[in-house]
Amino acid sequence: MDEVQPNADRADAASAGAVFLAFLRQGLTAFGGPVAHIGYFRRDFVERRKWLSEGDFADLLALAQFLPGPASSQLGMAIGLRRAGGLGLLAAWLGFTLPAAVLMIALAYASPWLGDTFGGGWRHGLKVAAAAVVAQALWAMARQLARGPERAGMAIGAAAGLMLSHGGPAAQMLALVAGAGFGWALLREPAPDTPDLVRPPPPGRAPLAALAAFAVLLGLAPFAAAALHAPLLGLASVFYRTGALVFGGGHVVLPLLQSEVVGRGWLSRDTFLTGYGAAQAMPGPLFGFAAFVGAAQTGAPGGWLGGLVAVSAIFLPSLLLVAGLVPYWDRLKQEPAARGAVAGVNAVVVGLLAAALWDPVLTGAVRQPRDWALVAAAYIFLAVAKLPPWLVVIGFAVATGVLT
């Protein structure tokens, strides 16, 4: 027995190494946002590598969409977990996230130099392109998540309430809780049909420990940061809470982080929107934007350490939830009420994104009437010409930089 365990550990480590290299390749080349990422994953891990079946892929994708956090990253974590256990989960996250995190921290350092060298026009182009990207995401999400009178009503009510109350983390949390309650009471979602699912092993203590850690950190981290007066822990608690409450994908991180970071004075609105626009041109997960915010913020710690803490903290809830819920997903996905609650939250998320599209995105990007034409042009390039977001973002940044 003593000889078998080291061999098993070495095999797990070798599998995790293969998982890391596979997802590092994705992190370097996967442009286009979460929907495109899912397509890349399916082609690589189902068709080419045959790490999992079509049914298992669909099942893990349903779980990723069920949970708060970045759906494509969580799908990658779940694939890594199925392939190589806990080490595989960490390897998949690290490989997929590392390139975007490094690029966004580098941008935080280079941003002042770019402003001095090229002026402020490139920033304006990034904000215009970001407005078009958010508008396109809002339209796509509304068609999928706010269909029908009940969901549309939840979305409109959430948007109106947040605009009238000027947002804020408390108002957003109340809207999400209300959406879950209405969805639980009014909506019923059918369970996904995945007949060739590869069944996971029976859950042990590790999934329960991961779920307990998720809940404890969410509840106690803000109080610990305040009691200890620790800026590093305070930064981590803000990004952890954001990662734990973001339903609907990467674009929904915008209103939550804007309220937390800009509202606290850690970052100016212009710098925040500049980083968000630049994130559209990066490969890998949109949540890599957290690295820019952590590195560019004016308070302690800032710099590369702040960027690493922020990006790690915003992904930590997803790591814990995927580790804790994958073994239980086969049973949980069959509960119509639970799926209804998530559908209600997703409808409210559309309202959150609509409120954020107005403030801060459009109010920050539109300075004069001609800016409406620039936003409309960027939207046409995205939605009609079907150009990739990274190309539109870079094009508008260069064009406005040269013109101004």
Please report the pLDDT score of residue 116 as a whole number. 54
Other beta carbons less than 10 A from residue 196's beta carbon:
11
d(CA 255, CA 355): 8
Helix (H, G, I), strand (E, B) or coil at 374: helix
Nearest residue to 267 (alpha-carbon basis) of 302, 219, 233, 230: 302
Q: What's the chain's average pLDDT? A: 81
What's the average model confidence in pLDDT over 4-33?
A: 75
d(CA 4, CA 336): 43
* pLDDT band, very low/low/confident/very high, at 329 (cuts 50, 70, 90): confident
| Torsion region of 150: left, alpha or beta (phi above 0 gives left; psi -120 to 50 gives alpha) | alpha
Other beta carbons less than 10 A from residue 341's beta carbon:
21
Looking at this protein, which amino acid is placed at residue 224?
Answer: A
d(CA 244, CA 68): 6
Residue 335 lies in a domain: yes
Residues, the chain: 404
d(CA 86, CA 326): 12
Report whether pLDDT(82) > 50.
yes
Q: Which residue has the tokens 């200890």?
A: 228
Measured at the CA of 83, the angle between CA 78 and CA 89, to 5 degrees, comes to 45
Looking at this protein, which amino acid is placed at residue 1?
Answer: M
Higher pLDDT, 365 or 159: 159
What's the average model confidence in pLDDT over 100-128?
A: 78
Cβ contacts of 1 within 8 Å, gap of 6 or more:
none
User: What domain range is 283 assigned to?
Assistant: 97-403
Residue 376 lies in a domain: yes
Please report the pLDDT score of residue 364 as a whole number. 74
Domain count, the chain: 1
What's the average model confidence in pLDDT over 30-35?
A: 70
Report whether pLDDT(61) > 80.
no
Comparing 48-57, 186-195, 215-224, 228-237, which segment has the lowest mean pLDDT? 186-195
DSSP for residue 324: H
Check if the beta carbon of residue 42 is closer than 8 Å to that of residue 60: no
- For 202, list phi and psi in degrees, rounded to 5: -60, 140
Residue 359 lies in a domain: yes
Please report the pLDDT score of residue 345 as a whole number. 79
DSSP 258-290: IIIIITTTSS-HHHHHHHHHHHTTSSS-GGGHH
List, for residues 221-258, the tens digit of each pLDDT value: 888 877 888 888 888 998 999 898 877 666 667 777 88
- For 390, list phi and psi in degrees, rounded to 5: -65, -35
Nearest residue to 379 (alpha-carbon basis) of 32, 152, 123, 138: 138
Residue 16 lies in a domain: no
List, for residues 295-324, the tens digit of each pLDDT value: 988 766 778 999 999 999 999 999 999 999
Please report the pLDDT score of residue 193 as a whole number. 57
Residue 338 lies in a domain: yes
Both tokens assigned to 340:
């209804």
Report whether pLDDT(195) > 50.
no
Report whether pLDDT(196) > 50.
no
Nearest residue to 365 (alpha-carbon basis) of 97, 26, 135, 154: 135
Please report the pLDDT score of residue 213 as a whole number. 95
Looking at this protein, which amino acid is placed at residue 152?
Answer: A
Nearest residue to 243 (alpha-carbon basis) of 65, 77, 70: 70
Comparing 115-119, 202-206, 325-329, which segment has the lowest mean pLDDT? 115-119
DSSP 223-257: HHHHHHT-HHHHHHHHHHHHHHH--SSGGGHHHHH
Please report the pLDDT score of residue 101 as a whole number. 94
* pLDDT band, very low/low/confident/very high, at 197 (cuts 50, 70, 90): very low
Report the percent of the chain where pLDDT is more than 90: 24
Helix (H, G, I), strand (E, B) or coil at 192: coil
Residue 340 lies in a domain: yes
Name the range with the highest mean pLDDT among 75-89, 187-201, 276-290.
Answer: 75-89
Nearest residue to 282 (alpha-carbon basis) of 112, 161, 105, 113: 105
Residue 20 lies in a domain: no
Q: pTM of the entire structure?
A: 0.73
What's the average model confidence in pLDDT over 147-160?
A: 90
Both tokens assigned to 234:
């305070």
Residue 25 lies in a domain: no
Other beta carbons less than 10 A from residue 401's beta carbon:
19
